[in-house]
Structure 1
Amino acid sequence: MSQVSSTILTESGTNELEIIEFHLEKIQPDGSTKTCYYGINVAKVREVIQVPDTTDYPNAQPHMIGVFSSREVLTPLVDLAGWLGVPTNKQLTRKFVIVTDFNNMTNGFLIDSISRIHRISWNDVESPSQFLEAGRQDCVVAVVRKEGKLIMILDFEKIIADINPELSMEKYDITQDKSVDLHERAMQKRNAKSIMVVDDSAFIRAMIQDTLASAGYNVIACRDGLEAHDKLMSLAAAAKQENMPVSEFIDGIVTDVEMPKMDGMHLVKRLRDSAEFKTLPIIMFSSLMSDDNRAKALSLGANDTITKPEIGRLVVMMDRYIFATPASMVTAEPA
């Protein structure tokens, strides 16, 4: 499994994904080992390699082993077990590295073993229990039950942001962004509008919510596409009962792509098949927004897309679609 490729996200709203199952071997207090099962979306993985030679990096963040060259790109190697607090054997000779490529960044994550690729429906991917989810600090975005095992799907965006804060969306300060109108009149206009934010990562969902709310928007937060779809159908039913357009209840949606129960692509497809939501502004905000996935998102009916580090584009983009006249509110062209 040296190179990994997948076209599943570019299929038409299938609500399916492929995950790579990998393992960390936890050393128990009695010296025995216990296998811990984890997963990552194939679409985020460039390749799986043996541990490369690394070079120490001065003043490196904790759990950063060093840097190596991956296809001529300087790539940090992260001790994933160390970051997760899982004690493992430090011998590197039998370990592997998952090289990821998303958010316009390349990173390597040290693991003990690689297992296989599973193709599953997002409907079979469970959200962490409300008793386990720890808000912004949670690093598990979903759980998959497979062959009697619980496979934890990790929030790699959260891990990278924690290890390298300089690359985190948390650095964005809307009050310093001269492209966003924060004058009282603009804030009042936005305060009359409601945007639904759909993301399975509590860490990213909170950042998007904070950014939009700081600009004046009202925000409805959902943890996955199914929760969002159910809420939107309830709003549509309420609007019909009161003989009002659904736009009186909701003005736009910002949605992730990969989410439990229903992914963002499938959510967009379902909404555009519904008469009530055919013209509602929808922005897809994802770490997986390659040119192919952008084209697919637009073909399914999304108005525009943003890659997750570019949170600074969000408010201006929402303003453009929410306050545009119907004649001028056209979908963006593929990049």
Structure 2
Amino acid sequence: MSGSTSTILTESGTNELEIIEFHLVKELPNGSKKTCYYGINVAKVREVIQVPETTDYPNAQPHMVGVFSSRDILTPLVDLAGWLGVPTARDLEKKFVIVTDFNNMTNGFLIDSISRIHRISWNDVESPSQFLEAGEQDCVVAVVRKDGNLIMILDFEKIIADINPELSMEKYDVTVDRSVDLNQRMVTKRNAKTIMVVDDSAFIRSLIQDTLSSAGYNIISCKDGGEAHEKLMGLIEVAKEEGLPVSELIDGVVTDVEMPRMDGMHLVKRLRDSDAYATMPIVMFSSLMSEDNRAKALALGANDTITKPEIGKMVSMIDKYVFGKTN
């Protein structure tokens, strides 16, 4: 599987994706070995290669093997097993590297073996909370059952943010962003508005929630598109019972693309097919927001898109669609 991978991502609203299955071979205390199964969205992968020659990088973060050149881009090589706390053999000649390209960053992740590509429906991708209580620090965003194995879909954004904290969205603080209107009049206006935040990464979801709530917005949080759709359909019933338009209960949605049960593209399609949410502001916030995927999102009815590192655009963009271009 060396070389470029497929570039198929979620087709417009079909609720499907492709994942690459890869393995880490855990060495147990008794000398035996156990294969651990992991997955990553094909759309995040540039290529899979043999381990390249690396150069040590001064004051490198823990679990960073070194740096190498990937298509003339200086690329950090991360010991994924080390970061995950999985003890594996140190023989680099038998390992591989998954080179990722998302969030406008290129990174390499050391793995033991590559398996195959699975094309699956997001309906078959389960939330990890069905297996364990995923806390803020959990690095598994979804689980896929295949051939009797549980394939763990990892939160690569969180891993990269942990290893390269200078590049993390955690550094953004809306309260010191002079481009955001934080005068009391505007904060009070936002206090009357509620935004739903939908992301399968607890790490990313918390960052978005903190950013919007610090600016004054009320937040409803959902861990995947399925939960978001259920809650939004429930709000329609509440609005009917109270004799109100649903716009009195919810003012906008910020949603990721990749999520268990129902992806963001399919969520947008379902909402736009509903009279209650035909015109509600929807912004898609994703690490995979290429020009092609932006075009798909807009065609399905999203108002706008943001690439995940650009969280600084979030409040102003929500203001634009909730209040209009002039506040």
Q: TM-score range by the shorter chain?
A: over 0.9
Tell me the SS of whatever aligns to 1:123.
helix
State the alpha-carbon separation in 2 of the partners of residues 183 and 157 from structure 1: 32
- Post-superposition offset of 1:3: 1.0
State the alpha-carbon separation in 1 of the partners of residues 150 and 122 from structure 2: 15
State the alpha-carbon separation in 1 of the partners of residues 84 and 119 from structure 2: 26
Tell me what 1:209 maps to. Answer: 209
Tell me the SS of whatever aligns to 2:190.
helix
Q: Is the 8 A contact 2:198 2:254 kept in 1?
A: yes
Tell me what 1:95 maps to. Answer: 95
Matches within 5 A, 1:245-324: 245-324=245-324
Tell me the SS of whatever aligns to 2:129.
coil
The superposition leaves residues 84-131 of structure 1 with CA deviations (integer Å, 9 ceiling, x where unpaired) of 000000010010000000000000000000000000110010001266
TM-score calculated relative to the size of structure 2: 0.98
The superposition leaves residues 180-205 of structure 1 with CA deviations (integer Å, 9 ceiling, x where unpaired) of 11111111000000000000000000
Matches within 5 A, 1:20-169: 20-129=20-129, 132-169=132-169
Query: Structure 1: which 5+ residue stretches go unaligned?
Result: 329-335
State the alpha-carbon separation in 1 of the partners of residues 286 and 279 from structure 2: 21
Tell me the SS of whatever aligns to 1:253.
strand
Q: Displaced runs of 4+ in structure 1, greater than 4 A? A: none
TM-score calculated relative to the size of structure 1: 0.95
State the alpha-carbon separation in 1 of the partners of residues 304 and 240 from structure 2: 28
Matches within 5 A, 1:163-178: 163-178=163-178
State the alpha-carbon separation in 2 of the partners of residues 70 and 302 from structure 1: 34
The superposition leaves residues 217-275 of structure 1 with CA deviations (integer Å, 9 ceiling, x where unpaired) of 00000000010000000101111222211100000000000000000000000000000
State the alpha-carbon separation in 1 of the partners of residues 12 and 288 from structure 2: 15
Tell me what 1:8 maps to. Answer: 9
Amino acid across the alignment from 1:123? N
Tell me what 1:197 maps to. Answer: 197
Counting matched residue pairs gives 326
Query: Structure 2: which 5+ residue stretches go unaligned?
Result: none
Mark the CA change 1:37 to 1:131 in structure 2 (over 3 Å): closer, same or farther.
closer
State the alpha-carbon separation in 2 of the partners of residues 136 and 305 from structure 1: 25
